[in-house]
Structure 1
Amino acid sequence: MAEPRRRLTQPHDPALRDGARMMADALDQWRTQGPRPDLWVFAYASLVWRPEFEAVEQRMARVHGHHRCLQMWSRVNRGTPERPGLVFTLLPGGSCSGLALRVPHEQVEALMPTLWAREMPNPVYDPKWLLCQTAQGPVRALAFTLSRRSPSFTGHLSPERYREIFMHSRGRYGTTLDYAQQTFEGLLQHGIHDRALERLLKLMT
């Protein structure tokens, strides 16, 4: 499998990032993967239970070198500027189980703006091509990751801070707590038991 072209470096401040350029770079990198390549997307949170596009194939997948965590500020979708909520991201280190979703080649260019509008309305994530291990063999998938240097990275949060956010943070798509619970249950439906997330949710019991 051909290695995608290295992505261009973007500043960490979302206000200085060019989201359209980042999408164009991702499409360029996808095109280098071979003749008429399909697109694989790594789903690790809401894309598991609410993908908003139809994948022609999904595989259980594991990524090494990144882990799922609830450590990204959300000031619109799951919180407000005054009372920020949280959303999941992939941070460097460890490993993560999720789904690899396949989009046929002929649908990719039409889908990408929709996917970008969903995941990158503010270009906070760092899109990366990660190697996903699946029972049917490895695939390289587009994943939305975060740098610890990003202003959207929360850093360490105490149990008390998580509890406060779960109790009070709500955005246009609902509460952080609902989002975390839906992700936990969505993962369980695919046989993925995220024990770190389970421990966070038990703070509310």
Structure 2
Amino acid sequence: MSVEPAETWIFGYGSLMWSPGFPFAESRRAKLTGFHRAFCVYSIHYRGTERRPGLVLGLDRGGACEGIAFRIAPEARRATLAYLRARELIYGVYREALVPIALAHTESEPPRTVWATAYIAERCHPAYAGCLPLAREALLIRRSIGQGGTNLDYLLSTRGHLLDLGIREPRLERLIALTGTGRTRQAGAHSNAPRSVALARAWAEKPTRRPRTVRDNRFGYRAKLAGL
């Protein structure tokens, strides 16, 4: 029989940080150990298409990840989890897990560890991209547009909210430099900023070579995406 935690916390590391989509009673900076934030999931709907797949974030094995923890009121628990499952589990590339996270201290509360719901990248799913070369990540991100807006907006919003929390990630900064948007102001998650749309469309028109090999390729679908 499963045991529910005394409190309900949700750990956000990507778009949940700026667009949670659910009411919450409290938000705190938090750290998850054992997983890191990575552009390891192909997006063919929200930030790309089947022809021009983008990349979105997932929690992948190893390292640590800092983000935002949201505490949910008891009466909102069922509705919040139903919403998140409809949002995150629709394609099966994420799996829901209860993980221990360390909440940062505040003026009124010391640091403590709580159990939180998080959505982890499923490595067995064909849309799992793995650890692509940084240049490949930049190419996919800067040319891709989906139902949720440009992949560049997604990247810049992630960087902007991490900076607001005082979190710097060298790999993410290098990725931004490679996309050529290092001096572009932060864009909202759903803003479709004209500059990022123009950049994505310009890059989409550039011809790209098909790679000779696809690293960690176990699925024909993954090979097709990597070759676009």
| 8 A Cα contact 1:38 1:108, kept in partner | no
| Structure 1 residue 204, shift from structure 2 partner | 2.0
Q: Secondary structure at the match of 1:61?
A: strand
Q: What percent identity do the matched residue pairs reach?
A: 36
| Structure 1 residue 110, shift from structure 2 partner | 1.9
How far apart, CA to CA, are the structure 2 residues paired with 1:41 and 1:147?
18
1:171 lines up with 2:146 in the alignment = yes
Q: Which residue of 1 aligns with 2:131?
A: 156
How far apart, CA to CA, are the structure 1 residues paired with 2:92 and 2:130?
19
Q: Partner letter of residue 46 of structure 1?
A: S
Q: 2:4 aligns with which of 24, 27, 33?
A: 33
TM-score if structure 1 supplies the norm length?
0.79
| 8 A Cα contact 1:72 1:86, kept in partner | yes
Unaligned runs of 5+ in 1: 6-28
Q: If you compute each CA radius of gyration, which structure gives the higher value, 1 or 2?
A: 2
Post-superposition CA distance 1:142-188 (Å, at most 9, x none): 00001333212112322332232123211101111110110110111
How far apart, CA to CA, are the structure 1 residues paired with 2:65 and 2:131?
19
Q: Partner letter of residue 163 of structure 1?
A: A
How far apart, CA to CA, are the structure 2 residues paired with 1:192 and 1:163?
21
1:129 lines up with 2:98 in the alignment = yes
Alignment map for 1:54-203 (pairs within 5 Å): 54-134=23-103, 135=105, 136-203=111-178
| 8 A Cα contact 2:55 2:137, kept in partner | no
Post-superposition CA distance 1:117-164 (Å, at most 9, x none): 222222220111111012331011000001333212112322332232
How far apart, CA to CA, are the structure 1 residues paired with 2:121 and 2:81?
19
Q: Partner letter of residue 11 of structure 2?
A: F
| 8 A Cα contact 1:74 1:85, kept in partner | yes
Q: Which residue of 2 aligns with 1:8?
A: none
How far apart, CA to CA, are the structure 1 residues paired with 2:146 and 2:72?
30
How far apart, CA to CA, are the structure 1 residues paired with 2:138 and 2:31?
29
How far apart, CA to CA, are the structure 1 residues paired with 2:121 and 2:134?
22
- Number of residue equivalences: 174
How far apart, CA to CA, are the structure 2 residues paired with 1:155 and 1:137?
32
Q: Partner letter of residue 127 of structure 1?
A: E
Where has structure 1 moved over 2 Å in runs of 4 or more? 147-150
| 8 A Cα contact 2:12 2:69, kept in partner | yes
Q: Partner letter of residue 81 of structure 1?
A: E
How far apart, CA to CA, are the structure 2 residues paired with 1:86 and 1:170?
10
